[in-house]
Structure 1
Amino acid sequence: MDQTVVICDNKTVDPASQSDLLEAAGADIEILDEKTEAAVTEAVDGAHALIVDAATPVTAASLTGTDTLRVVGRAGIGVDNVDVDAAAAAGVTVVNVPDYCLDEVSTHALSLLLACVRGVPRYDREIAAGTWDWKTGRPLHRMAGRTLGLVGFGRIARRFASKLRDFRVDVVAADPNVPATTMHDYGVERVGFDDLLARSHFVSVHVPLYEATRGLFSTAAFERMREDAVLVNTSRGPVVDEDALVAALDAGELAKAGLDVRATEPPGPEDPLAGRDDVVCTPHVGWYSEESRADLSRSVASDVAAVLQGDDPANPVDPETPWV
């Protein structure tokens, strides 16, 4: 019997291979372009599987509005846009792709950090405006001998830590779910969050978004950070209170920020973080390479197909276990 798979994902790079995997499981594919709760709820009525990206909400209303849905495939790592508890209660399997862009995001975090540390975007803008002067980016400081703090120590943060070895920085990490022995294997010291903020010249954020991390970087957090600190966020935008970030930068309580993710994506036309010399922004592109898109496309389709065929998926999401 044919089964319907609804796809609402604009990252798909290899629709042919996705189609082959899903059609082999007896699936008909429907494409959904509208990323709203109402559209998703209507689309899954009578469907057996749903594949979504980060911008597509999968709420309890959508999950309880159908008695046919068997699996939700999150085309990406984070599952904060999927109500995994409601899915579990409805008997719907949720799968994600936890390892498809580890190199890309860790490299992007490093790129944002280096851009901030070396003042690259400002020098580029100054040259474009006709100014050739090394002094426009002052003061810059060497990285060696300074401390970098990783907030969260999952797969991406571990890859990032490995890439930092030749920079001769001291690396510390705060993550209540990871033991000190695991961090020690990467040459990283386990510390508490407050200690990390107080010690770190560079802070890179690698936590999932849930209630405990929403607004984690608040006014109080910025007050505990060094005034010469650089904040890099490649995880989820709402982890950082952007009003508090703007205030900290304006007050000189923080030196610079490199942001790949924002609280609202895309931000509005009056974005107070855009165009600043002390902020580097990219459009949630840390995950991207042509290779990662292909890996993502095939992996999520493979797991959805497995569930439709009655097999165990490779990457089920356990609502009781924090994803990293």
Structure 2
Amino acid sequence: MSGRVLATEIVFPSFNPERKVFAEAGIEMIATGAGSTGEILDAAEKTDVDAILTATHISISEEVFEQIEGLQVVSSYGIGVDHIDLDSATKYGVPVTNVPDYSIEEVSSHAISLLLNCARSVSQYDKQVGDGGWDWETQRPLRRLRGQTLGVVAFGKIPRRLVEKLDGFSFDVVSYDPDVSESKMAEYGVEKVCFDELLSRSDLITSHVPLNEESYHMFDIDAFKTMKDDAIFVNTSRGQVIDESALYKALEEDEIACAGVDVMENEPPDGSPLVDQQNIIITPHAAWYSEQSMEELQRKAAEEIVKVLQGEAPRYLVNTELTKDTTVDV
């Protein structure tokens, strides 16, 4: 077979995993380093493009689906696809794929690391010692973790693995996820609750929600006011699920005790007052990363394209409305 894949942003040290997959299938890969929709269209205009391989930094808008004739698939690195106009993709009959299972171990472990770091004030103690101090009382009061309530916002693959890993801590675990049944949560020893009850009951809260219209800024001023004033809040999902001005206010006014975030509304967070806040830990969108997960992500994203170009059904079709018999209605 033959075909051409347009790779947009260059976000990994190399494209070796993708090139190997494509070479074995006789597919040419063109790495553009495109940083905007316009650059994608300019690159596509110079060559026939059958597929796009993209990360989350560029909007794949209706313009892309409309102007690139013969586009057969868009494959997204990672889990989130909020940067892709799925309605337009479906309208033009273009399958969109993602890789929803590549970093379950990494993200669940990273969320736990942030929770425990906040709960034991590890970063604050380390900074104090680095500044010449040696005083355990500066972080009083710290509470025993056993028996505390852990609130898990969303209950997909990653939070389920997180709950399994935390089993030995003897937390009381509650979760809010309208799409997961009470019986499924019960299999993991988790109690299903509404969002407000989770906020008000939990000592520690970890967010794993996808970004959509319902979850945008779901953690707003009211949400943080509903939390306990000694609550710990962690987010490893999408930065936009948090109203950062509300989080800053909650931390500044001691409405919650501490936060740990791996994602920000704008990345990098230039000018964000959260960066200088003392009771927050910020990591640079690194929760997904290990050498193994990075290779798996690149390989699987490429494999999805090969499947579609070979006339096979992809493993991870996002716009599931599409079938083999879908006709394009424009």
Taking structure 2 as the reference length, the TM-score comes to 0.93
Distance in structure 2 (CA, Å) of the matches to 1:275 and 1:136: 19
Mapped contact 2:54–2:75 kept (Cα < 8 A): yes
Distance in structure 2 (CA, Å) of the matches to 1:181 and 1:67: 46
Q: Where has structure 1 moved over 3 Å in runs of 4 or more?
A: 9-14
Within a 5 Å distance, the mapping from 1:43-58 to structure 2 comes to 43-45=43-45, 46-58=48-60
- Residue identity over aligned pairs, in percent, reads 41
- The answer to whether structure 1 residue 279 and structure 2 residue 280 are counterparts is yes
Could you report, residue by residue, the CA deviation over 1:299-318 in whole angstroms, capped at 9, with x for unpaired residues?
11111111111111111113
Stretches of structure 1 that go unaligned for 5 or more consecutive residues are none
Structure 1 pair 7/59, CA: closer, same or farther in 2 (3 Å)?
Answer: same
Mapped contact 2:211–2:238 kept (Cα < 8 A): yes
Distance in structure 2 (CA, Å) of the matches to 1:142 and 1:36: 49
Q: How many residues align?
A: 320
Mapped contact 1:109–1:232 kept (Cα < 8 A): yes
Could you report, residue by residue, the CA deviation over 1:121-159 in whole angstroms, capped at 9, with x for unpaired residues?
111111111111111222211111110101100110111
Partner of 1:183: 185
Could you report, residue by residue, the CA deviation over 1:182-207 in whole angstroms, capped at 9, with x for unpaired residues?
10011100000011011001110000
Q: Bigger shift: 235-244 or 215-224?
A: 215-224
Structure 1 pair 48/222, CA: closer, same or farther in 2 (3 Å)?
Answer: same
- The answer to whether structure 1 residue 245 and structure 2 residue 247 are counterparts is yes
Whichever residue aligns with residue 117 of structure 1, its letter is: A
Whichever residue aligns with residue 254 of structure 2, its letter is: G
Distance in structure 1 (CA, Å) of the matches to 2:168 and 2:51: 45
Partner of 1:105: 107
Structure 1 pair 192/68, CA: closer, same or farther in 2 (3 Å)?
Answer: same
Whichever residue aligns with residue 218 of structure 1, its letter is: D
Distance in structure 2 (CA, Å) of the matches to 1:23 and 1:64: 28
Partner of 1:196: 198
Task: Give me the CA root mean square deviation.
Answer: 1.6
Structure 1 pair 237/319, CA: closer, same or farther in 2 (3 Å)?
Answer: farther
Taking structure 1 as the reference length, the TM-score comes to 0.95
Distance in structure 1 (CA, Å) of the matches to 2:275 and 2:234: 15
Q: Secondary structure at the match of 1:257?
A: strand
| Alpha-carbon shift at residue 55 of structure 1 (Å) | 1.4
Mapped contact 2:95–2:319 kept (Cα < 8 A): no
Stretches of structure 2 that go unaligned for 5 or more consecutive residues are 323-330
| Alpha-carbon shift at residue 319 of structure 1 (Å) | 5.7
| Alpha-carbon shift at residue 246 of structure 1 (Å) | 0.6
Mapped contact 1:11–1:293 kept (Cα < 8 A): no
Distance in structure 2 (CA, Å) of the matches to 1:162 and 1:9: 35
Within a 5 Å distance, the mapping from 1:1-324 to structure 2 comes to 2-12=2-12, 15-45=15-45, 46-268=48-270, 270-318=271-319
Could you report, residue by residue, the CA deviation over 1:15-58 in whole angstroms, capped at 9, with x for unpaired residues?
33321321333321111213212112323343111111121221
Q: Secondary structure at the match of 1:172?
A: strand
| Alpha-carbon shift at residue 95 of structure 1 (Å) | 0.8
Q: Secondary structure at the match of 2:224?
A: helix
Mapped contact 2:220–2:242 kept (Cα < 8 A): yes
Structure 1 pair 10/143, CA: closer, same or farther in 2 (3 Å)?
Answer: farther
| Alpha-carbon shift at residue 222 of structure 1 (Å) | 1.0
Distance in structure 1 (CA, Å) of the matches to 2:251 and 2:277: 10
